[in-house]
Amino acid sequence: MRYVIGLFRVDFIRLLSIRFLPILFPSILLLAGLAWPVDLGIYKGCAATDAEFKTTQLYNGNNSLKMAFALQDDGGVDVYFIQKTGGLKRYNAGSKTVTDMGSIPVDDYGEYGLTGVAADPDFKKNGTLYFLLTASESGKFMYHVTRFKLDAGRTKLDPATEKVLVRFPAEHEAWHSAGAMAFDAYGDLYVAVGDNEKIDEGPGNTADLRGGIMRIHPDDSPKGYSIPAGNFGERFAALFKAQGKADLAAVYADTAKVKPEIYVKGTRNAYTVTLDPVRRWLTWGDVGPDQGKVSEEYDLVHQSEYTGWPYFAGEESMGGVTPYHYAVPAGGTRAVPVNKAAEAGTVNGAKVLPALREPILARTQGCAMTGPIFRYDGRIKSAGNFPPQLNRKWLISGCDSYGFHIMTLDSAGEKVNSNVTAFASIRPSTLVDLQQGPDGSLYFVSWDNGVYRVDYTGACKDPALVPEATGCADPASANYDASVPKAFNDPRLCAVGIAPRPRALAAEEFRVDGSSLTVGVSGPHTVEFAGIDGRVVLTLRGEGARSYPLPQSLPRGVYQVRAATNTGSRSVLVSLGL
């Protein structure tokens, strides 16, 4: 255990399903500005102030759950959001209106229904949205991971385009739906599925998809997806083999005993997930049991893991304290969890589970919701882009009026170095989704009040600060890029035949000397001059190695000058007339 907080909560998840939230939990929301009571530090002489954050309600209504985004050509962000009963709506950034996009038939008993949505990474071209839902199918209650395309005019879902990628049965008269979905930068889709109040059969059973997080790579094959390298079964088969445990390695390599779609196993109700867009660290808030224990989890993993439920939660050994009064199986420990039902043959999964990955943070009671790990990108021109002070910070919250907390992680993502309260004047009591949009602003959904955007209106900008580049950091690969730190290595970019990602240009490839600047690489290039506010005021375009005189037409001041080519980019600060 790394960090512990104590708080109370009312059990929001069950009340959500009863649909009395607007009466029982009026949200406490400030709609015209946020207070920022903590010192975020000075970034290059600039500090964010309380008056520089503005909240805008995009949609006023209840029954909303999750969001997906579509960045428009003018920098505006359309927000697609779902409703538990099957509805899809869109907030149009241009017209500032909300329209119905259609409805998907679902079985919305209890917490279930339409619970997850994600936009295809190539959504602008293909108009494809992915959903997690529950449906009645031939008299059975089923989970579906499915996708639809929008019609040619992007005004409605096209029902004829549906393709169900993954389907599996669930218990109808049960709780814990989870339902969050997210794509990473490489096209892998993560899908959080609740434990469905199953114990050995769900989160403790590697032959079942309930109580875990799937990872698949959607494609246009007849099946509709492939399995990314390094998922749960593959990772632990290799690990156990390296440990000399050949029998256990064989179990984990058997896709009948370990579902290949599993990425994380051992979750209870991971209602929200987020991904660090560079390092692909996966975080989620796992809503814990209501027993007054330190069992409300915020989890962060760097690879496939088992995270303990149903035998462990937070700091607690769950024997005798879960709503099911289910004891830790005899002989099971945090280092070697076991599934007695598998030993008895009741379920088909592995008998021995991997050592659990401890949560990075836990609190007493509550309703854990994860938010984004912020990445500041100085190339974003949106005025609402959150300030560089928040770069690499992790925002968490809860559906229980927990408020917003900014976490500072160590560089390895193994512990929380600090936890400070932010946005003290805004404490939504029914928060169900919290994301950073492609415009750098913060978006959140309140179940009983609608969809909101939080914009930064201050002057703290840094055009030179951009997310780190991933690439191949393996010297044995033909795609090896020495400029890529090992921490940002992507093995798939090391594969033969895959071109390396654009790198940072070397100093000799783009430099400013005296009264001129020089681009020293072949191929087309672009050179942009931006003011300290990030606004581009001059663009030069050329071909091949070329020198330009520094412009005399620009006002005196300091400019961020960025050169971009087919092979990489580089930014430098230039003083003109000073």
Give pLDDT tens digits for 65-114.
Answer: 788 888 776 678 999 999 999 999 999 999 999 999 999 999 999 889 99
Count CA atoms within 13 Å of residue 572 on its CB side: 18
**Which 3 state secondary structure label does DSSP give 343?**
helix
Alpha-helical segments (H) within 118-191: 123-126
In sequence order, the 6+-apart residues with CB closer than 8 A to the CB of 221 are none
**Which 3 state secondary structure label does DSSP give 123?**
helix
Give pLDDT tens digits for 8-51.
Answer: 333 333 334 333 233 233 333 433 334 444 456 678 888 887 66
548 vs 232: CA distance, rounded Å: 53
Rounded to 5°, angle at Cα 209 from 127 and 310: 130
In sequence order, the 6+-apart residues with CB closer than 8 A to the CB of 265 are 203, 206, 211, 212, 232, 305, 306, 307, 353
379 vs 560: CA distance, rounded Å: 11
425 vs 477: CA distance, rounded Å: 51
| Domains, in order of start, for the chain | 4-456 (2.120.10.30), 468-501 (no CATH), 504-576 (2.60.40.3080)
Rounded (10°) angle between helices 246-253 and 232-242: 170
The model scores a pTM over 0.85: no
Take residue 310 and report the two structure tokens written for it.
């149903």
**Which 3 state secondary structure label does DSSP give 177?**
coil
Give pLDDT tens digits for 340-383.
Answer: 677 677 788 998 889 889 999 888 878 899 999 999 999 898 88
Residues of the chain falling short of pLDDT 70: 1-41, 50-51, 73-74, 290-291, 316-332, 340, 343, 425, 487, 492, 496-503, 532-535, 578
314 vs 362: CA distance, rounded Å: 6
**8 A C-beta contact, residue 314 and residue 296:** yes
Residue 146: closest CA among 163, 161, 158, 128: 163
Largest alpha-carbon pair distance within the chain?
81
